[in-house]
Structure 1
Amino acid sequence: MPGVQPGEQVVLEVEDLSHSGEGVGRWQGRVVFVPLAVPGDRVRVTVVEVKKNYLRARLEEVIDPGPSRCRPECPSFGSCGGCHIQHLPYECQLQYKTGRVRNSLERIGRLGGIRVLPALGMNHPWHYRNKVRFHVMLREGRPALGLYAPDSHTPGYWVGDGTRCRILDRELNELALIIDHLLGQYRDELLQGPAPLISHVTLRRAVATGETMVVLAAGGGRPRLGKLAAELAGTGRVTTVVQQTAVLPGREPDDGRTRTLYGRGYITDRLGDLVFRISAASFYQVNPVQTRVLYEKVGEYAGLTGRERVVDAYCGVGTIALFLARQAREVLGMELSSRAVADARQNARLNGLGNASFLQGAVEKLLPRLFRRDGGPDVLVLDPPRRGCHRSVLETLARCPVPRVVYVSCDPGTLARDLGLLAGYGYRVVEVQPVDMFPQTCHVECVSLLERPASSG
């Protein structure tokens, strides 16, 4: 665009929100992305990046606020990268997420006319997170807990400033303050050269039992970490403390070694009448209230009568598998993480569910072997990571049809891509239900039901 350079200021109207929660406007025919702007805003912005088809800009002034703008609850909103859309009323957040799912299906999956239900929200969409991962950064010469600013590796939020995170469990907020104080007390022991010995601190709380885990990401220094672990044990707020070595880029989470510094090395939680053991590297949903909502929708879509054979791919610690095992003839879980599989097997024993078993390995390798050896299941649950299913998993379903597939996704883009491929393989997308697992952020979980008529293919 001739004449438009970074640093130039323009005034524009915000028309929409992007998939990442940025305001979207137009200037001389080009799309402009403006963080912290909402639809209906008239804003003055500074151009920070010029591309061929779009601009990126920094919000300088809201000249006229849009009707959907509200005051954020958290004073750190905008400087902290933990939340994206606190400046939208919660009902507007749910509408945005429903629309985002529908638009992704149409634009990415080429799936028009799919039934997308309104997103299921929370009665109280605050203090819901049972897990947080803080960075340990130097602040005035001492190690301190914080979170990065949006799209950066610079501090945007410091625990020590006393602002409680509005989406984090209240007990974890208080524990974070204690740990931040202890890091200052152990400054000399924890500093090695220009960086702290500990790179991250992860806090995880089982809300139903009150058990709490602290994970210290550090490459060594066991004696010094042992002192810190003993201090944490003395607070009466911590069930277990675990040291986890750094994971190399591209490796799976359980490729990092763990060492228990205090307690059992795991915590237990309850979901309804089920008990779950959770280790440091195991995936477990971060919103306990909405997890129950999500799993009940999975159970509804699975439509079990007690006669079905179910496969739960990407099963983690077995939460969905065990949730369904009570209504199924048998359930087989598949998971890459060896530690998560160990937890899943232990969880099956804890809950007395002998009809649930688990295999460790990559789903794209295990699923074809299962079909060749035993034939396909009656119901397949897919709950992949954010990147979606491996292409060969979907190709296996093309060759070996499953009558009913329940797809759980945390990313509408990869969900739409995969559902589009499955539709091309003869599956019918019956319905998609968004579930708001992450209020105040742009993220949304979805449960989708697909059926494969016997005559397809």
Structure 2
Amino acid sequence: MPEKNQVCTAEITGLTAEGSGVCRVDGMAVFVPGTAVGDMAEIKIVKVLKSYAFGIVERIVTPSPDRVENTCSVYKQCGGCLLRHISYEAECRTKDSIVRDAFTRIGGLTPEFDSFLGAEATEHYRNKAQYPLAIRDGKAVCGFYAPRSHRLVPVTDCALQPEVFGEILRTVLGYINEKKLSVYDETTGSGIMRHIYLRRGAHSGEIMVCLVVRKDVSRQLSALCRLLTESFADIKSIVMNINPRKTNVILGDSCVTLWGSDTISDTMCGNTVEISPLSFYQVNTLQAERLYAKALEYAAPDGSEVIADLYCGAGTIGLSMAEKAAKIVGVEIIPQAVENAKRNAQSNNITNAEFHCGDAGEVFGKLRKQGCAPDMIVVDPPRKGCSQETVDLIAEASPKRIVMISCNPATAARDAKLLSEKGYSVDKVCGVDLFPRTGHVECVVLMSRDKA
């Protein structure tokens, strides 16, 4: 076994879903952040557990052909872009392997794997960013938390965000510092300004500025609204979200519109979409459209079918299928998102969609008792996957096809395995990169009722 503080030279032979390189030292797997497959590296062992260990790079002896020059000044401190040190081609290979491994090794399944869908744009693709605030050297700053901590890394120019976000951040920070507005301290629960939260329509260009505060300070922010709207013509909405709780949850339940409209609009799969601060909306619009197109391809509705859309958010997936379905029934737990979904259907003259608010398992169970018998179910669960109740209800509904969209291949494979034990074959899987340069990867899964 390797020992703590031991220094050794080893070749990196794999990458984990968390972006760490993997090598073997004295027969034990060692995980080493910031390395690439093919690196020959001098590694210092920093922690040894029963069956694996962790190391840090002392020196790259021979660099991998996959290595590229990192262009972000806070890449190592921020930890958001885990894969910025390798080429995008290598990143796609890694993510494709993560998806395949989840279904074959974790799930024990043998689906057909479609070609991995990499992104055309790997920079400035995000339509949403949430920046916590802190005080550094007596001044308000914003940025991102370092990995596994609440230590703020000050950032205003992030390569994944639209450039205009940096300009807006600097304007807001300048105002906070000029007016001496207090910044929230999560250890004491004191201070007012908590987060700067920005959203932007990828197609429309419309921008929402949401200021997360501990209590109502609308009077102190009125001059900031004038400053922002005079400086940035694309800002269509300025909202104050009030979160009085001593918690690390970003958004509170109450939103007050300070200027403009309550929402912004964008286009998704040809439909106009209304986005509120609390709406779920995929952060990479262009890739999300490719993701939804793959989901529609898998669903293959013929115009006569009822489609249940579970964890539907603002309804974007279901509405993208509405033209080819007899009826869409959406279920979502966030009330504001459900209202957005209803308005999205109305604004696009989609009359065959209805949306219900509540836990997906509970609401769908009630709908089933009322006679809702979907021919097809589309499910887009959170990272933790479907609840056991939801899996059971999906199986009981016995749709002929299930299309699952997941941001966590491991839980998707787990849920697909559970459904395979309840009479469904797992036919196809496709990995899709919605988050270039990060360790995250999405996948789409097609399951069909086993006729046998």
TM-score interval for Structure 1 and Structure 2 normalised by the shorter chain = over 0.9
C-alpha offsets along residues 152-207 of structure 1, whole Å, 9 cap, x if unaligned? 22233422xxxx32211222233223323333323x22347886521211111012
Question: Quick one: which of 418, 421, 434 aligns to 2:418?
Answer: 421
Question: Could you tell me which amino acid in structure 1 is paired with residue 181 of structure 2?
Answer: E
The structure-2 alpha-carbon separation of the partners of 1:249 and 1:16, relative to structure 1 and needing over 3 Å to count, comes to farther
Equivalent residue for 1:190? Answer: 182
Equivalent residue for 1:99? Answer: 97
Question: Quick one: which of 26, 29, 40 aligns to 2:27?
Answer: 29
Deviation at 1:293, TM superposition (A): 0.5
Equivalent residue for 1:233? Answer: 229
Deviation at 1:138, TM superposition (A): 1.1
Q: Which runs of 5+ in 2 are unaligned?
A: none
C-alpha offsets along residues 7-41 of structure 1, whole Å, 9 cap, x if unaligned? 44333221100111111112122211111011111
Question: Quick one: which of 342, 346, 369 aligns to 1:345?
Answer: 342
Equivalent residue for 2:384? Answer: 387
* CA distance in 1: counterparts of 2:354 and 2:249, whole angstroms: 22
* CA distance in 2: counterparts of 1:358 and 1:156, whole angstroms: 40
Equivalent residue for 2:198? Answer: 203
Higher mean displacement: 171-180 or 292-301:
171-180
Question: Scaled by the length of structure 2, what TM-score is found?
Answer: 0.93
The structure-2 alpha-carbon separation of the partners of 1:427 and 1:290, relative to structure 1 and needing over 3 Å to count, comes to same
Any conservation in 2 of the 1:240–1:263 contact (CA below 8 Å)?
yes
C-alpha offsets along residues 333-388 of structure 1, whole Å, 9 cap, x if unaligned? 00000000011111111011111110001111012222222142111000011111
The DSSP-based 3-state class of the residue aligned with 1:129 is coil
Any conservation in 2 of the 1:101–1:412 contact (CA below 8 Å)?
yes
C-alpha offsets along residues 396-421 of structure 1, whole Å, 9 cap, x if unaligned? 23333110111000001110110111
Q: Does residue 212 of the first structure (1) align with residue 186 of the second (2)?
A: no
Any conservation in 1 of the 2:242–2:254 contact (CA below 8 Å)?
yes
Equivalent residue for 2:162? Answer: 169
Any conservation in 2 of the 1:435–1:445 contact (CA below 8 Å)?
yes
Deviation at 1:255, TM superposition (A): 5.8
Any conservation in 2 of the 1:254–1:338 contact (CA below 8 Å)?
no
Any conservation in 2 of the 1:310–1:379 contact (CA below 8 Å)?
yes
* CA distance in 2: counterparts of 1:282 and 1:18, whole angstroms: 31
Question: Quick one: which of 87, 92, 104 aligns to 1:89?
Answer: 87
Question: Could you tell me which amino acid in structure 1 is paired with residue 11 of structure 2?
Answer: E
Any conservation in 2 of the 1:98–1:116 contact (CA below 8 Å)?
no
Any conservation in 1 of the 2:332–2:360 contact (CA below 8 Å)?
yes
* CA distance in 2: counterparts of 1:252 and 1:76, whole angstroms: 24
The DSSP-based 3-state class of the residue aligned with 1:189 is coil
The structure-2 alpha-carbon separation of the partners of 1:38 and 1:247, relative to structure 1 and needing over 3 Å to count, comes to farther
* CA distance in 1: counterparts of 2:6 and 2:238, whole angstroms: 51
* CA distance in 1: counterparts of 2:351 and 2:250, whole angstroms: 28
The DSSP-based 3-state class of the residue aligned with 1:82 is coil
Q: Does residue 156 of the first structure (1) align with residue 153 of the second (2)?
A: yes
* CA distance in 2: counterparts of 1:247 and 1:391, whole angstroms: 33
The DSSP-based 3-state class of the residue aligned with 1:60 is strand
Deviation at 1:252, TM superposition (A): 9.0
Question: Could you tell me which amino acid in structure 2 is paired with residue 419 of structure 1?
Answer: A
Deviation at 1:423, TM superposition (A): 0.8
* CA distance in 2: counterparts of 1:331 and 1:348, whole angstroms: 10
Equivalent residue for 1:129? Answer: 126
* CA distance in 1: counterparts of 2:203 and 2:193, whole angstroms: 29
Question: Scaled by the length of structure 1, what TM-score is found?
Answer: 0.92
Question: Could you tell me which amino acid in structure 1 is paired with residue 227 of structure 2?
Answer: E
The DSSP-based 3-state class of the residue aligned with 1:11 is strand
The structure-2 alpha-carbon separation of the partners of 1:251 and 1:390, relative to structure 1 and needing over 3 Å to count, comes to farther
* CA distance in 1: counterparts of 2:239 and 2:51, whole angstroms: 48
The DSSP-based 3-state class of the residue aligned with 1:239 is strand
Deviation at 1:291, TM superposition (A): 1.3
Deviation at 1:75, TM superposition (A): 2.8
Q: Does residue 400 of the first structure (1) align with residue 376 of the second (2)?
A: no
For this pair of structures, how many residues does the alignment match? 447
The DSSP-based 3-state class of the residue aligned with 1:190 is coil
Any conservation in 2 of the 1:138–1:196 contact (CA below 8 Å)?
no
Question: Could you tell me which amino acid in structure 2 is paired with residue 201 of structure 1?
Answer: I
Equivalent residue for 1:369? Answer: 366
* CA distance in 2: counterparts of 1:69 and 1:189, whole angstroms: 44
* CA distance in 2: counterparts of 1:78 and 1:23, whole angstroms: 15
Q: Does residue 333 of the first structure (1) align with residue 326 of the second (2)?
A: no
C-alpha offsets along residues 102-159 of structure 1, whole Å, 9 cap, x if unaligned? 1111222121x32122210122321111111111111211111111223322233422
